[in-house]
A and B are shown apart, each in its own frame.
Chain A
Amino acid sequence: MTAYRNRPDLVAALVRDDRVHRDLYLSDELFALEQERLFARTWVFLGHASQVPAAGDFVTQEIAGRPLLMVRQPDGAVHVMYNRCAHKGTQLVTDESGNTGRFFRCPYHAWTYKLDGAPLGLPLKNGYEGTQLKACESGQGLSVVKHVKVYRDFVFVRLSDTGPSFEDYFGDVLGALDNMVDRSPEGRLTVGGGVLRNIVHCNWKMYLENINDTVHPMSTHESATKAAEALWEGHAPTDPKPMAMEQILPFGSGYEFFDQMGGRVFANGHSVLGVNFSIHSNYAQLPEYEAAMQAAHGVARAADILQRSPQNSVLYPSLSVKGSPQAIRVIRPLAADCTLIEAWSFRAAGAPALLFERAMSYNRLVFSPVSVVAHDDVHLFESIQKGLRAGGNEWISLHRNHDPAETQQATVTTNGTNELLMRNQFRAWARAMTPEVAA
């Protein structure tokens, strides 16, 4: 079925000013095209440099359906290569992470490669004399991903040779990563505590748009927030809360709270939700940590860093960031109706252990496969994936606060419940998916 591949006009027609067509979530063909046109041509989060601290350390990761290998080099650089032996295609390593020593050795026929992918050796060398091996791809070592950006230790790749530069693609939304890193008095984060992994039987875009959905918590999460409120009833507002209560209770904030937190969109689908405040703004103050931040950054800058606690910052299409608690979610599409969601926690160098506890606690409470908050989200996403197969209406409404003038500027700051933060994602999707039209 190739209804869309050669018909950019039909793809463009799926994204209207104020609604999108259900095929964005249902079509296997569009999913395959997304891998080529969106995930291979934009900058996608691969991993964090702290995962590979020593030379020879590697992490394997699939992006846009292609197996990749992130490797620390002897000179300290982080390189990314395709995890495929130049000989017959065997994956050089099949563990999720590890250390390969000073070279890679294919387990199948013992072809070896330097850590940068250059060919090192192979058995029965004489058998290749007089052949064309060296002249073709198979003789030139591992295929290297040329477009790799390590931004404050966050590693992004653009698999395609064509596409925007890293800085042009992300622009001002990189401030979200800066804010998380700057929360370390030493300006350094390390991944810690493992990654929580969830399989959700829904399209990845549904998950990503919900990251900007401020109107669902009151109804979707009612059962969890009502239970939390009932358990906490009788306490004065000033009573110190256990960390779990501090993190769960704000989910019950009303429509007005979520509207007033404000949101901002940027070119290419990126956004910051909660530019004014968020459910993360009222975590207990930590005087010693604030003193360390002031010593590192100065009083005014420390205050500026710490008062920013957006709900979610989206680096479209693969990453959602919470500066406080120091946690990210990574969106890894597996099929049109199946998405892997990862929740990572970070340790901030020079910050108290409590900040790391907050990150782990939040991920456990809200993004674990056993989370009572996530249960209702996941159920509803999977319900939508089924509901969209219904006949009749084939459209998803994104009308809230739609203003025809909203596309005239790339960066727009607006109210927190404006569905502009979702429309902006779909507009970026449509541009990426119809390169012939854009050119």
Chain B
Amino acid sequence: MNDPRDFIAHEAALLDARRFDDWLALFADDGHYWVPLLGAAQADPFSHNSLAYEDRLLLQLRVERLKNPRAHSQHPASHSQHVLQPSRIEEEGTDDVRLRTPFLYIEARGDDQLLLSGTARHHLIRTPTGWSIREKRVDLLNAARPLPAIQLFI
């Protein structure tokens, strides 16, 4: 999987298959998952709040919680579907690459279905074993509007 665009598709497929441990393993040790409250307009995760700004420790917490049968909100369980437009490479260095991927995200649970749209922006770094995620930034179209619970990973 040398083409980083294939890596992006693979990452989303792992989430939709609920293979969360395998998904988490894609992140670099200093990797972050970030959903800014201002979407694409937000400069950084510190001057303004975010729906999520999580390092590996907090992502691990999410993944471990989902394994607990007493994660009450997962009865019934949530399932996701990422519908991705082709990823476009924005910037390419010798050891890293930045891509943007417009998407629709559907999360279904019981009788309810949630639809989100936005653009994922990945910063990947090259490692001896392949690509690794330094940052996955999810710019939602409407992050600051009232939202219901979003339980899995966009």
Using a CB–CB distance below 8 Å, which chain A residues touch chain B?
A: 192-201, 219-220, 222-224, 226-228, 230-231, 242, 244-245, 248, 340, 345, 357, 360, 363-365, 368-370, 372, 374-376, 378-380
CB closest chain-B residue, reference A219 = B70
Using a CB–CB distance below 8 Å, which chain B residues touch chain A?
A: 35, 37-38, 46-53, 57-58, 60-62, 64-65, 68, 70-73, 144-151
Interface of chain A, helix or strand or loop or mixed?
Answer: helix
17 A-B pairs whose Cβ atoms sit less than 8 Å apart in the complex: A194-B48, A194-B144, A196-B37, A196-B49, A198-B148, A219-B70, A223-B68, A228-B61, A231-B61, A245-B57, A364-B49, A365-B58, A369-B148, A369-B149, A370-B151, A374-B149, A379-B72
Counting from the closest, the 9 A-B pairs by CB-CB distance are A379-B73, A193-B49, A223-B68, A223-B71, A227-B64, A369-B147, A197-B146, A375-B73, A227-B65
- When A242-B57, A376-B72 are in contact, do A340 and B51 touch as well, CB less than 8 Å? no
Q: How far is the CB of A400 from chain B (nearest CB, A)?
A: 21
A230 to B57, CA, bound (A): 11
Q: Is the CB of A230 within 8 A of B64?
A: yes
Q: How far is the CB of A63 from chain B (nearest CB, A)?
A: 16
Chain A contacts of B73 at CB under 8 A?
A: 375-376, 378-379
Q: Is the CB of A375 within 8 A of B49?
A: no
Question: Which one of A194, A197, A345, A380 has the greatest number of beta carbons of chain B within 10 Å?
Answer: A194
Chain B contacts of A198 at CB under 8 A?
A: 146-149
Q: Given B48, B51, B149, which contacts A193 in the complex, CB threshold below 8 Å?
A: B48
Q: Given A192, A220, A340, A372, which contacts B61 in the complex, CB threshold below 8 Å?
A: A372
Q: Is the CB of A226 within 8 A of B68?
A: yes
Q: Given A194, A222, A248, A374, which contacts B68 in the complex, CB threshold below 8 Å?
A: A222
Q: Is the CB of B49 within 8 A of A223?
A: no
Q: Given B52, B70, B147, which contacts A197 in the complex, CB threshold below 8 Å?
A: B147
Q: Given A223, A244, A340, A378, which contacts B58 in the complex, CB threshold below 8 Å?
A: A244
Q: How far is the CB of B53 from chain A (nearest CB, A)?
A: 7
Q: Is the CB of B51 within 8 A of A364?
A: yes
Q: Is the CB of B144 within 8 A of A195?
A: yes
18 more A-B contacts (CB under 8 A) besides A245-B57, A370-B149?
Answer: A193-B47, A194-B38, A196-B37, A196-B49, A197-B145, A197-B146, A199-B148, A222-B70, A223-B68, A223-B70, A223-B71, A227-B60, A227-B64, A228-B61, A248-B61, A364-B51, A368-B52, A372-B65
